[in-house]
Chains A and B, each alone.
Chain A
Amino acid sequence: MCGIFGIVGQETELVSKLMAGLSKVEYRGYDSAGICISRPEGLDLMRAEGVLDNLKQIIVDMEDGFCGIAHTRWATHGPPTEENAHPHCDPQFRVAVVHNGILENEVQLRQILIEATSNTCFSSETDTELVAHVLAQEMDAECGDAIPDDEQLLAVWRRSLDRFDGSFSLAAVVKGREDVILVARSFSPLILAFNDAGYLASDVSSLIGMVKEVYFIEDGDWGLLQKDGMELFDSEGEPVSRESSPLQWNEEDAELGGWPTFMLKEINEQPGVIRSCLQGRLSRDTLRGVKIAYKPDLVRIIACGTAFHAGLMARHYIEELSGIPCIVDHAHEFRYGTPSGPKALVLGISQSGETADTLAGLMTAQERGYPTLSIVNAENSTIARQSDSILGIRAGPEIGVASTKAFTGQVLGGLLVALRLGRLSNKVRSEELAVINNAARRFPNAMERLLASSQLEKGLKRARRLFHNQNHAFFLGRNSSYPIALEGALKLKEISYIHAEGYAGGELKHGPLALIDKDAQTPVVVISSDGIIQQKLFGNVREVAARGARVIMIAVEGDEEASAHADVVITVPKTHRLLQPIMHNVVCQLLAYHVAIDRDCDVDRPRNLAKSVTVE
C-alpha cells in the first residue's frame, strides 16, 4: 500500500524516469499521486488526485532536475484529495517527504508540534506531513537557516526518526541538497539500487529494467542515498552495509505487451506458473526443495485474502496426505490471539512477502518458539528473509491487484508442503508421488486446452449475462471445492463490486438460503467436487434452483449429471483429484473478469484496494 520511488544523481530525463518507476508501483495505491524535484532554488512539487494519469497530465512541462521523489497513495489518513497527496512539505518548503506506512504516535506528535509553535498550521490530514514538520524543526535546531552538511543531515534525520513510532518507509529531499535523499525503513519495505544514479523504491517492480541488482535494507536501517553510494546505519546508530541481490524478475514480465489488462495476462500465464512452480521439486518419485526438518504435531497456516483461501486448500491437502491436524487463521486474527499448543509448524502465505499482518504473525510465532515456513512469490521479500525457510512459488511479478496466478502457485506450494509432511509421516509412498508427478506434468497442458476452448468462451458468454443488473451472487462448493467457492466470491466482489459470498453447500439450510431471491433470479455459481460429496452438492444445487436461483455449474468434462442441474454448464478438463480445484478456479477468475468488464470496472485497479497490504 502506497508506492514510493526516488532517484538521485540523474543527469537526464529525471521526470520521465520517476514517472516510469512510479507507474510500476501504481498497483500499491491509486488514490492520488505526486512528485517533488529538488532544485538549488527550491522544491518543485506537483500532486494530483486520482490515478497516475491525472498527475501525468499536469507535469508535461515540469523541468528536469538532478534529484526527486515520487509517491502513489492508498489513503489511510484523510480522504484521497490533492491536499492529502504526497510528497508533503514543511511550511517553509525546506523538506519534502514521501511515506509508506502508518505513524502510530500521530496524535501525540501533532499535539507536540502545535504546542511548540503556536502558529503551526497543517495543510493536510496526513500523518506524513508531521514527518516533514519534525524534520524541518530538527533542522532548524541543528543549523538554523543554513544548508545542512552530511554530518548535520544525519544528526537531524536520526533525531527525527527517534520521534516516530509505527511502520514506515520514508524518503525525504532537502532544499539545497539535491545530491542526497534521506531514507529510513521500519517494517514497511524499502529497496535501494544503483546504476548511473541512486534509486529507492517500495518494490522491485519499479526497478526492473533500470538496474541489475538491488539492496534490500533491513528494518531499522536509515541513512543517506547518493548518486553512487549509500551511508546506512542500523537502529542503534552503528554503520552497516547490506548485501546486494540480483533482480529476480526481468522487464518483459512486468509489461502488458499485447494484453488489455494485467489480470487477463496473469490468468493466462497460469499454465506456465504450474510448470515453473513444480520444476525440480517433483521429479519422478522424489520430492525436493521443501524444507521441513521434522514432523510437527500441528500445522498453523496464517494468511490474508486470496492467500488465506490458498491456505484453506493447503489444509485439505495436509490433513488428507499427512494426517497432521491443521488450523488456518487470518494473519490479523492470529497475531493478536494467544496461539498455544503442541509442536506446531507455522506456515505463512503471502504473494508479495510484505503483507504486514502475515509478517507480524510469523514474528509472533517465532517469538513463541515455533518454526516458520513461508510460501511467497517475492523471494527477497521481508517475509522470505524473516522466515526460517521459504518455498518460492516462482509465479513472476503479479501486477493485477486481484490475485490470480499467485493463488495457483500458492495452492501448489501447499500441495508440496502436504506431500513433504506426508512423506515425514510415512503416509505418502513413492509410488503415489510418481502418480501425482505424472498427473502434474499433464496438468498445464490441460489448463491450456481449457483456456483455448470455445466451450469455455461460449459458457462464459452465457454465464456473464446472468449477472446483468444483479447485486448479489453466491458461490457454492464442498470439501476441496469450498475454498474455491470462497475465492470465486472474493474475485467477483473485489473487481466487479457485486456482493458475493462463498458457502459450503451444507451450510445453506442454516441461514444463507434465505437470501436466494426468486424474483431477482440470483446467480449461484457451483464448483463441482467429486465422489460422494458430488451427490451431496447436487442436493444443495436442487435446493437453490427450486427457490428461483440461476445456477452456473463448473464441472469436469463428461459429467452428464452436472448439466442436469444447471442453467449454464462450463466444463473443464479432468485432471488429478488433488489438482482439479485449481482448474475450476480458472473459470471463476475468468467469470469475475468478464462480469467486471461488462460493468466497465477497472479490473487492474479496483476501487479502495491496493496490492501488497503493507499496513495493518
Chain B
Amino acid sequence: MLAAGRGARLGGLTDSRSKVMLPVAGKPIIEWLLQEMVDAGIDRATIVHGYAGARILSSLGSGKALGIELDFVEQTSPHGTLGAALDAMKSMSLDEDVLILNGDNIVSASAIKSLLTAEGPSLLIAEHENPQEFGVVTLNGNIVAAIQEKPASHEALGRVVSTGALRCPVLWREVFESTVKVGLTGIPDAIRNLLDDDVEIEAIRTDTWVDVDHPWDLIDMNATLLDGIEQHISEDADVHPSAVIRGSVHISENVVIHPGTVIDGPVHIGPNCDIGPMAVITGSTTVGSGTRIGPFCRIRSSFLMEDVQIDSGTWLQRSVIGPASVLRSHVHVDVGETQKIGDSGEFIVRRLGLVTGEACNIGHGVVSAPGTILGSQVFVGRRVRIAGEHPSGSEIQSGGV
C-alpha cells in the first residue's frame, strides 16, 4: 500500500499528516481501505510511508486491531509511486504476485477480490467526470490498450481512468527499475512500457471508487462513507433528553450533547466533543474528536477535523474545517459554484463553502464567499469578508471582497 505522498493539492490540510491520514467519517482514509482489504480476505500488507510517516505508525500500530498484519517500509527512493512500490517489493519473492494499492483512495472489497481472483496482471479502472486529472485508459475489449497520464484533450479518449490498483507479478520489479532509470516515476509510466512490449493486462471495472485529489473531494468522500454508518450512541456519551437524534448518527465516547440540539444523520461525532445547546447538525457531516460547537450553530454537509472550536451562531455548509481551527461567533459561510484551476486547466466546482487548513482563526462575524480556501494558521479579523485563496500564515485584517 502506497502511503508516502503528502497530497500537496490539499494545501494546509496536509501540513502535519499525509492525505491517507485524513479522518474522513471518523477514521483515516487508509483505515477505510484496510478494512476493505480485510473484508476481501487479505491478512498481511506492507505499507510504504514517507511524508509524516510517524502519524501512520502511531495510528495503525501492528494492525492487530484492524485484523491485519502490517509491515512498514519507509520510502527511501525519491522516484514517486514507482520508487515506493520498488521499496516495498525489494524483499518479496520473485515467483509471487503483488497487489499494489494507493492508500489515499478507497476501492471496495469486491473490487479487491476481483483483482485477487483475476487470471494474471490486472488493473482496476473506473469512470470519472474529470478524467483529465487521472491516467486515462483506453481498452481493447477487457484488455488495457493504452494509458495516458493527465491528457489535455480528454474528450476523444473517454472517461475511463486507472484507479491505480494493480495486481502484477513481483517480477515486474525489473520493468519498474528500468522505468525509473530513464527518469519516469509513475506506475502508469511502467505500465506503458509493459504495453509497448505487448504484455496483456486485464482491465477490471469498479463503480465504487472514491478518490480525493482536491479539498472539496473530501466533502463527497465524507458523504459516501457516512452513507453506510449505523446509529450508535456510546454508553459513555451524555446526551440531554431534550436533544433530538435522528437517522444514522454515530456518537462516540465522552461526547456531551447539550439541551435542544438537533442531529439529523448521517452524522459521525468523534470522541470528546461538546455540542450545543440548540445546535443543528445535519447530514452528511463528520465532527472530529475534541471539537466544541457552541449554541445556535447550523452545520450541514461538512467535514470538521479534530479539536475545532466553533462559537455561537455560526452557519456552515459544504465546508472542510482543518484541525484546531477556531471559528468565532456568527461566522457565515456562503455556498455556491466556484471556478478552480487543476493540472489540466480550469473546471467548475459546484456547491462549495469554506476550506481551512490547520489552526486557522476566523474572527467574529466573518462572511466567507463560496469556494474560499485558506492555508494553515490563517488569521481573519472580525467582520471581514473573505473570498478566494489565501496561503498559510496569511493575516486578513480588513476588507472585503
Chain B nearest Cβ from A475, distance in angstroms? 25
**Interface contact A442-B70, CB-CB below 8 Å:** no
Q: Is the CB of B61 within 8 A of A275?
A: no
Partner of B64, one of A251, A279, A444, A445: A251
A201 to chain B, nearest CB (A): 21
A438–B323 CA distance with the chains assembled, in angstroms = 13
Residues of A within 8 A of B248 (CB): none
Task: Give the residue name and chain of the A residue nearest to B73 (CB).
Answer: A258
Contact of B62 among A252, A280, A284 (CB under 8 A): A252
Interface residues of A in 200-219 (CB under 8 A from B): none
Residues on the A chain within 8 Å of B358, using CB: 445, 449
Residues of A within 8 A of B63 (CB): 257
Is A442 touching B274 in the complex (CB atoms < 8 A)? no
Say yes or no for A177: interface residue by CB 8 A criterion: no
Task: Name the distance in Å between A371's Cβ and chain B's nearest Cβ.
Answer: 29
What is the CA–CA distance of A449 and B55 in the complex, to the nearest angstrom? Answer: 11
Which chain A residue has the least Cβ–Cβ distance from B323?
Answer: A445
- B254 in the interface, Cβ–Cβ < 8 Å? yes
Q: Which residues of A contact B274 (CB under 8 A)?
A: 283-284
**Which A residues touch B64, using CB under 8 A?**
251-252, 255
B172 at the interface (CB under 8 A from A): no
In the assembled complex, how far is the CB of residue A174 from the closest CB belonging to chain B, in whole angstroms?
37
Chain A residues closer than 8 Å to B17, beta-carbon distance: 448, 452
Q: Mark A254-277, 1 if CB is under 8 A from B, else 0.
A: 011111000001001100100100
Set A275, A438, A449: member contacting B326, Cβ < 8 A: A438
Minimum distance in angstroms from B73 CB to a CB of chain A: 9
Which of A256, A275, A442 contacts B359, CB < 8 Å? A442
Verify A258–B72 contact, CB threshold 8 A: yes
Instruction: Considering the complex, give the chain B residue whose CB is closest to the CB of A253.
Output: B61
Interface status of A441 (Cβ within 8 A of chain B): yes
Please tell me which one of the listed residues A252, A441, A442, A445 contacts residue B61 in the complex, with CB atoms under 8 A apart: A252
From B16, B71, B309, B326, contact of A258 by CB (8 A): B71
Nearest CB of chain A from residue B70's CB, rounded to whole Å: 7
Over the window 53-68 of chain B, the binary record of Cβ atoms lying under 8 Å from chain A Cβ atoms (1 yes, 0 no) is 0111110111111000
Contact B254 A280 (CB under 8 A): yes
Interface pair B309/A438, CB less than 8 Å apart: yes
B54 A268 Cβ-Cβ under 8 A: yes
Partner of A452, one of B15, B57, B61, B256: B15
Chain B positions within 8 Å of A257 at CB level: 57, 60-63, 70, 72
Which residues in B have their C-beta under 8 angstroms from that of A441? 290, 292, 307, 309, 324
User: Does any Cβ of B come within 8 Å of A356's Cβ?
Assistant: no
Complex CA distance for A256 and B358, rounded to whole angstroms: 29
Interfacial chain A residues near B290, Cβ < 8 Å: 275, 279, 441
| Interface membership of chain A positions 425-455, coded 1 if the CB is closer than 8 angstroms to chain B and 0 otherwise | 0000000000000100110111011011100
A416 smallest CB distance to B (angstroms): 16
Contact of B58 among A272, A284, A445 (CB under 8 A): A272
Query: Once bound together, how far apart are the Cα atoms of A171 and B52, in whole Å?
Result: 46
CB < 8 Å neighbour of A279 from B61, B62, B254, B359: B254
Residues of A within 8 A of B285 (CB): none
Is B272 touching A255 in the complex (CB atoms < 8 A)? Answer: no
A78 to B17, CA, bound (A): 50
How distant is the Cα of A7 from the Cα of B54 in the complex, in angstroms? Answer: 36
Residue among B54, B60, B326 having the largest count of chain A Cβ atoms under 10 Å: B54
Number of chain B residues whose Cβ lies closer than 8 Å to a Cβ of chain A? 37
If A284-B274, A452-B52 touch, does A442 touch B326 (CB 8 Å cutoff)?
A: yes
B residues within 8 A CB of A268? 54-55, 57-58
Task: Report chain A residues within 8 Å CB of B62.
Answer: 252, 255-258
Q: Which of B7-57 contact A (CB under 8 A)?
A: 15-17, 47, 49, 52, 54-57
Q: A279-B272, A445-B358 are in contact. Are A265 and B57 (CB under 8 A)?
A: yes
Closest to B14 in A: A452
Taking CB atoms, residues of chain B closer than 8 Å to A438 are 309, 326
Docked CA distance A445–B305 (Å): 11
Q: Which residues of A contact B254 (CB under 8 A)?
A: 279-280
Complex CA distance for A53 and B360, rounded to whole angstroms: 50
A284 to B17, CA, bound (A): 28
| B:271-311 near A, CB below 8 Å | 271-272, 274, 289-290, 292, 306-307, 309
Complex alpha-carbon distance, A28 and B208, angstroms: 51
CA distance A257 to B63 in the complex (A): 8
**Minimum distance in angstroms from B23 CB to a CB of chain A:** 13
A269 to B49, CA, bound (A): 18
- CB B261 to nearest CB in A, in angstroms, measures 15
Q: Residue-by-residue, is B319-332 near A (CB-CB < 8 Å gives 1, otherwise 0)?
A: 00001101000000
Most buried by A among B57, B63, B292, B326: B57
List residues 54-81 of chain A with CB under 8 A from any CB of chain B: none
Decide: B16 and A448 in contact? CB cutoff 8 A: yes
Residues of A within 8 A of B15 (CB): 449, 452
Query: Once bound together, how far apart are the Cα atoms of A265 and B59, in whole Å?
Result: 11
Is B16 within 8 A of A449, CB to CB?
yes
Indicate if the CB atoms of A275 and B57 lie closer than 8 Å: no
- Contacting pair B324 A255 (CB below 8 A): no
State the Cβ distance, B307 to closest chain A Cβ, in Å: 5
Report whether B16 and A451 are in contact in the complex, using a CB–CB cutoff of 8 Å.
Answer: yes
B308 to chain A, nearest CB (A): 9
Known A-B contacts A252-B62, A258-B71, A438-B309; A451 and B359 likewise in contact (beta carbons under 8 Å): no
Given A255-B62, A257-B62, A452-B52; A445-B57 close (CB under 8 Å): no
Which residues of B sit under 8 angstroms from A283, Cβ to Cβ?
Answer: 256, 274
Residues of A within 8 A of B16 (CB): 445, 448-449, 451-453
Q: Report how far A283 CA is from B55 CA in the complex, Å.
A: 26
Give the docked Cα–Cα distance between A545 and B116 (Å).
64
Complex Cα spacing A275 to B306, Å: 11
Minimum CB–CB distance for A255 against chain B, Å: 5
- For A444, what are the chain B residues with a Cβ–Cβ distance below 8 Å? 307, 324
| Alpha-carbon distance A444/B308, docked complex (angstroms) | 12
Pairwise interchain contact A452-B54, C-beta atoms closer than 8 A: yes
Contact (A258, B57) CB under 8 Å given A445-B16, A445-B324, A446-B359: yes
Q: CA of A259 to CA of B61 in the docked complex: distance in angstroms?
A: 9
Considering residues B56, B70, B292, which has the most beta carbons from chain A within 10 angstroms of its beta carbon? B292
B61 neighbours in A (Cβ, 8 Å): 252, 255, 257
User: What A residues does B309 contact at CB under 8 A?
Assistant: 438, 441-442
CB nearest neighbor in A for B57: A258
Distance in angstroms between the alpha carbons of A445 and B358 in the assembled complex = 8
Bound state CA distance, A252 and B55, in angstroms? 15
| 0 or 1 for each of B240-254: is its CB under 8 Å from A? (1 = yes) | 000000000000001
Residue of B nearest to A264 (CB): B54
CA distance A108 to B70 in the complex (A): 55
Instruction: Give the docked Cα–Cα distance between A441 and B272 (Å).
Output: 11
CA distance A517 to B72 in the complex (A): 44
Q: Which of A258, A446, A453 is the one whose CB lies under 8 Å from B60? A: A258
- Give min CB distance, B348 to chain A, whole Å: 33
Query: What are 27 A-B residue pairs whose CB atoms fall within 8 Å in the complex?
Result: A255-B64, A256-B62, A257-B57, A257-B63, A257-B70, A257-B72, A258-B47, A258-B49, A258-B56, A258-B70, A258-B71, A259-B57, A268-B54, A275-B272, A280-B254, A284-B292, A438-B326, A441-B290, A441-B309, A441-B324, A445-B307, A445-B358, A449-B15, A449-B16, A449-B358, A452-B15, A452-B52
Known: A251-B64, A268-B58, A449-B358. 14 other contacts (CB 8 A): A252-B61, A252-B62, A256-B62, A257-B72, A258-B47, A258-B71, A268-B57, A275-B290, A438-B326, A442-B307, A444-B324, A445-B324, A452-B16, A452-B54
Q: Using a CB–CB distance below 8 Å, which chain A residues touch chain B?
A: 251-252, 255-259, 265, 268-269, 272, 275, 279-280, 283-284, 438, 441-442, 444-446, 448-449, 451-453
Binding site for A on B (CB under 8 A): 15-17, 47, 49, 52, 54-58, 60-65, 70-72, 254, 256, 271-272, 274, 289-290, 292, 306-307, 309, 323-324, 326, 358-359, 376
Q: Which 8 A-B pairs have the closest CB atoms?
A: A258-B72, A445-B324, A452-B16, A257-B61, A442-B324, A448-B16, A258-B57, A452-B52
